[in-house]
C-alpha cells in the first residue's frame, strides 16, 4: 500500500446534528486520537463530514483500522491514498488502485468538497471513468460494480479509496452524559452498558457482591468486564458494593417470597446515591421483560419505585438469544459465563413472588434502617478505575 495511505472515518448520525455537528465530530476525533495512540497516527483532523487519520510511514494500518472499528460514531473506515488535489495525481492514484486486483465492472464515485477545483463531481466521474474503462477494458456499472473507486477532493489533499470497513456506528462516547449501570457478573448487564455507550453515554459501573459470605469470583468477573467495557469508553469507574450485611438484615425482617424484590430495591437506592455523587443522570439495568421472576412487569414496577432518577432498560424487549449473540460480539460472554456466586443467589427463597406490590414491602422496610444501610454500603464500597491507554 502507498506510503501516503491515510485512514478516512466517515459518520452518519453525527451528520444529522445540525449546528451541533462540530461538537460531536470533535468528540469522535478525540476518541479516535486516544485509542490509536502508539499506532503511528501522526494527526487526527476533522474535515467535511469525516475524520482524517494521517499515518506515519511505519504505522500499523491494519491495527488502526481494527481499533477504529470499535469507536462509537464511526460508520465507515477506509484506507485511502492521499495525493495533492491535482487532476493528474488523482488520476494516477485511481489507476494504481484499480491495478491491485482484477475486475470487469466498476464505477467512480467522486465528491468535490473544494468547489474551486476546476472539475465538478460529474466531470471527474466521466473523465476518470473513461480512463479506467479504456486501460482495464472494464464496463461501468453504477448499481453493482465489482470495484467502486471513491475520490474525495479536498482543498489541499485528495483521497482515493475503494475499501470500506464497517464501524461501530452510534454516537461518540461522552456526548450524551453519564449513567450508572447495575452490573452483575452475568450476561445481560454488560450488554446493557455497551448499548448505552453506543448512544454516547459514559457508564459508571456498580457491582453488588456478598463476599466474604461467598467466594469473591463475582468481584473478579466484574473487574474483567469493566476492562472490556473500558475499551469502548476509555475511562471507567467500577464500584464494588458489599451487600452481605444488607441481605442478612432483609433476611430477618422480610418474608421469603418478597426478598428478591427487596434486594433489588436496596440496590436501586444505593446505585441512585452513587449516581448522584458521580453526576450520572440515569440508572441502567440489564432487565428483559419476563426473563426471570424478578423481571415481570409488576416486579419491575415495584423495584423501580424508590428511584429518584430515571431507569433505562436497553434490553427490555430482547430475548436471551439476542442478548447472548451481542455479548459474544462484544467479547463479554466468555467472562460472564464463568461460574460464580453472586449476591442474588444468596438467601433466595424457593418460591419468590412474581407480582410484589410496593405496599407489601413498604411496611416491612419500615423496620429496616434504610438510610444507615445505604450510607454504610457507600462508605464500604471499593472503587476501581481503568483508563486507556493504561497507566
| DSSP state letters, 67-130 | HHTTSTT--EEEEEEEEES-HHHHHHHHHHHHTTS--SEEEEEEEE--TTSSS-HHHHHHHHHH
pLDDT at residue number 210? 85
Band (347; pLDDT cuts 50, 70, 90): low
pLDDT at residue number 2? 40
- Among the ranges given (91-95, 170-174, 293-297), the one the predictor scored with the smallest mean pLDDT: 293-297
State the average pLDDT over residues 151-178: 94
pLDDT > 70: what percent of the chain?
95
- Cα 364 from Cα 362, distance rounded (Å): 5
Helical residues (DSSP H) of 14-60, grouped into ranges: 21-35
pLDDT at residue number 348? 65
Band (1; pLDDT cuts 50, 70, 90): very low
C-alpha cell at 358: 410496593
C-alpha cell at 233: 469508553
* pLDDT of 4 strictly over 70: no
Secondary structure string (H, E, C) spanning 118-142: CCCHHHHHHHHHHHHHHHHCCEECC
Contact (Cβ atoms closer than 8 angstroms) between residue 132 and residue 95: yes
Strands 50-55, 5-10: pairing is antiparallel
pLDDT at residue number 3? 41
pTM as predicted: 0.91
* pLDDT of 342 strictly over 70: no
Q: Is 322 left (phi over 0), alpha (psi -120 to 50) or beta?
A: alpha
Band (391; pLDDT cuts 50, 70, 90): very low
Residues 31-60: pLDDT tens digits? 999 999 999 999 999 887 899 999 998 898
Band (345; pLDDT cuts 50, 70, 90): low
* pLDDT of 11 strictly over 70: yes
To 10 degrees, the CA torsion angle through 246, 305, 175, 391?
0
Nearest Cα to Cα of residue 192 among 301, 316, 302: 316
Residues 274-318: pLDDT tens digits? 999 999 999 999 999 887 777 899 999 999 999 999 999 999 999
- Cα 129 from Cα 323, distance rounded (Å): 46
Residues 136-152: pLDDT tens digits? 999 999 999 999 999 99
pLDDT > 90: what percent of the chain?
82
* pLDDT of 223 strictly over 60: yes
Q: How far apart are the first and last CA of the chain?
A: 33
- Cα 367 from Cα 247, distance rounded (Å): 14
Place of cell 430482547: 318
Amino acid at each position: 500500500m502507498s506510503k501516503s495511505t491515510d485512514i478516512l472515518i466517515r459518520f452518519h448520525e453525527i451528520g444529522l446534528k445540525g449546528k451541533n455537528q462540530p461538537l460531536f465530530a470533535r468528540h469522535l476525533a478525540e476518541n479516535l486520537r486516544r485509542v490509536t495512540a502508539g499506532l503511528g497516527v501522526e494527526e487526527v483532523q476533522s474535515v467535511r463530514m469525516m475524520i482524517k487519520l494521517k499515518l506515519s510511514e511505519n504505522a500499523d494500518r491494519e491495527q488502526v483500522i481494527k481499533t477504529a472499528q470499535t469507536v462509537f460514531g464511526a460508520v465507515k473506515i477506509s484506507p485511502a491514498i492521499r495525493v495533492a488535489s491535482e487532476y493528474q495525481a488523482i488520476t494516477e492514484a485511481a489507476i494504481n488502485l484499480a491495478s491491485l486486483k482484477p475486475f470487469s465492472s466498476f464505477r467512480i464515485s467522486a465528491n468535490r468538497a473544494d468547489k474551486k477545483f476546476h472539475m465538478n463531481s460529474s466531470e471527474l466521474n466521466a473523465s476518470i471513468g473513461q480512463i479506467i474503462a479504456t486501460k482495464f477494458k472494464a464496463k461501468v456499472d453504477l448499481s453493482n460494480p465489482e470495484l467502486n473507486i471513491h475520490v474525495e477532493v479536498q482543498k489541499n489533499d485528495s483521497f482515493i479509496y475503494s475499501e470500506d470497513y464497517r464501524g461501530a456506528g452510534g454516537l461518540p462516547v461522552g456526548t450524551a452524559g453519564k449513567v450508572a449501570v447495575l452490573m452483575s457478573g452475568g450476561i445481560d448487564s454488560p450488554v446493557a452498558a455497551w448499548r448505552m455507550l453506543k448512544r454516547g453515554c459514559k457508564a459508571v459501573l456498580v457491582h453488588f457482591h456478598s463476599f466474604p459470605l461467598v467466594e469473591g469470583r463475582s468481584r473478579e468477573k466484574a473487574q474483567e468486564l469493566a476492562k472490556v467495557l473500558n475499551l469502548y469508553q476509555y475511562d471507567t469507574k467500577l464500584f464494588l458494593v458489599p451487600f452481605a450485611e444488607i441481605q442478612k438484615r432483609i433476611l430477618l425482617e422480610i418474608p421469603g417470597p418478597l426478598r428478591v424484590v427487596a434486594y433489588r430495591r436496596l440496590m436501586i437506592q444505593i446505585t441512585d446515591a452513587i449516581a448522584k455523587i458521580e453526576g450520572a443522570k440515569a440508572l441502567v439495568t440489564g432487565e428483559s421483560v419476563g426473563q426471570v421472576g424478578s423481571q415481570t412487569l409488576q416486579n419491575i414496577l415495584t423495584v423501580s419505585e424508590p428511584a429518584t432518577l430515571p431507569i433505562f432498560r436497553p434490553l427490555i424487549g430482547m430475548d436471551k438469544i439476542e442478548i447472548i449473540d451481542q455479548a459474544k460480539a462484544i467479547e463479554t460472554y466468555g467472562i460472564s459465563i464463568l461460574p460464580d456466586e453472586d449476591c442474588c443467589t444468596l438467601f433466595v427463597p424457593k418460591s419468590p413472588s412474581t407480582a410484589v406490590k410496593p405496599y407489601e414491602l413498604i411496611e416491612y422496610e419500615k423496620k429496616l434502617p434504610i438510610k444507615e444501610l445505604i450510607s454504610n454500603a457507600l462508605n464500604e464500597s471499593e472503587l476501581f478505575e481503568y483508563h486507556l491507554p493504561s497507566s
